[in-house]
Structure 1
Amino acid sequence: MRKGILALIIAGAFIFGAAAGLGGGYYKYVAAPRKQAVEMAKKQQEEMNKMVRHGTLTAVEPDKLTLKVEKGGGDIGQVISLTTNEYTSIQVGMGFVNKPGEKADLTKWFKAGDTIDALVKDGQALALHREPRPGEQVQQGQVSDQQHPGPGQAAPAQGQKK
């Protein structure tokens, strides 16, 4: 009888140890990193929300924009100046219009009155975005106005006639 109880105690201790080991390993390698990742993502999202600005441009210079902020970052209603550098990404619609490492002339892509979204850190624009203007077609690295073709370009076809 004592041998049976001893064997039962040993088997129970083995099962308890295996369960505790699996549970501890799951927590250490799965649950805890997942929890840390969620907390870090929330922190990064809060930081990103502080950096985003949405508003209307009041002035455009080759390397500087003046923006009246309508949403984002605690600057609502204020006019802020944004400088750019060669690492600022410029996007019109879904396409990027500048090449990384090349400083872009902002007057080529923006004008006063445009509504833009900007990612801003310490007065530096990290990314700029605006929607295409009516009649404007966006291609990678260039924006063209379909209603007014340039010299040597044919006007787009209006449709086929039968």
Structure 2
Amino acid sequence: MLILIFHIGNSLYAIDSSHVIEVIPRVTYREVPYVPKYVAGLFNYRGAIVPVIDLCQLIRGTPSKPYLSTRVIMVSYPGKDDQLQYIGLMAERVIKTINKPDIEFVSSGIQANKAAYLGGMVMDEKGMIQRIDLDRLFADLKPIRFLGAGNDSSSN
């Protein structure tokens, strides 16, 4: 499996690259009132209004630092009626991709019920890398009700 490696603080994390559309520089966001702090805001992605989740804020409780290597990882996920929707995941020091067989990821032995999206871990020459399970992450974020581009909330 090809995984994209990035930092949250000093810890390494990864996501399965099959969900990644592209990695883009940080952009200016429109803030959204009355949403959790980990929602960095909205921005225009190729004509679509897309939410950005700050993974540092979500996992560590502190916003991503404005490093030159802080990026937005654009990923797709099945939304309403299984149509693909986009979401941006902001992370610090998005550094590289590597191949790691799925079988090499092992349980940490710790169950984090409030963060079920934190998956197995694998060793690398840089240290331990923890996988973020995007399916579980998207399920955890559903209460926010990301409507996706082109959907009109007034018709709900």
TM over 0.5: no
- Name whichever structure is richer in helix by fraction: 1
- Indicate the structure (1 or 2) with the bigger Cα radius of gyration: 1
TM-score, structure 2 length as denominator? 0.22
- Name whichever structure is richer in strand by fraction: 2
TM-score, structure 1 length as denominator? 0.21
